[in-house]
């Protein structure tokens, strides 16, 4: 499957995309843990998540991805 994406997303746009992905998953599954995570990720009027630690973790995840440090390979043990 090939999808045209913008060359670069801002950190906020990528966060919003992740939020929407999880929101869609929540609507399908009604998983309480995902619902709780979405509550923490919901943004306040200042544009930052209700849980500031979520934003800090998000920025760390971006850096890890940029440095090639994310392993998405399926590993069955």
pLDDT digits (tens, 9 = 90+) for 8-54: 899 999 999 999 999 999 999 999 999 999 999 999 999 999 999 99
Q: pTM of whole model > 0.75?
A: yes
* Residue 77: predicted pLDDT: 81
One-character DSSP codes across 3-46: ----S---HHHHHHHHHHHHHHHHHHH--HHHHHHHHHH-B-TT
Q: Positive or negative, the Cα torsion across 56, 57, 61, 64?
A: positive
**Largest Cα–Cα distance in the chain?**
45
Helices 52-66 and 11-29 meet at what angle, rounded to 10? 110
Beta bridge partners of 49: 43
């Amino acid at each position: 499957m090939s999808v045209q994406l913008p060359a670069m997303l801002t950190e906020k746009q990528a966060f919003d995309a992740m939020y929407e992905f999880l929101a869609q998953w929540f609507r399908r599954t009604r998983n309480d843990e995902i619902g709780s995570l979405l509550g923490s990720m919901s943004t306040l009027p200042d544009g930052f998540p209700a849980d500031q630690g979520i934003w800090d973790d998000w920025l760390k995840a971006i850096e890890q991805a940029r440095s090639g440090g994310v392993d998405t390979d399926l590993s069955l043990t």
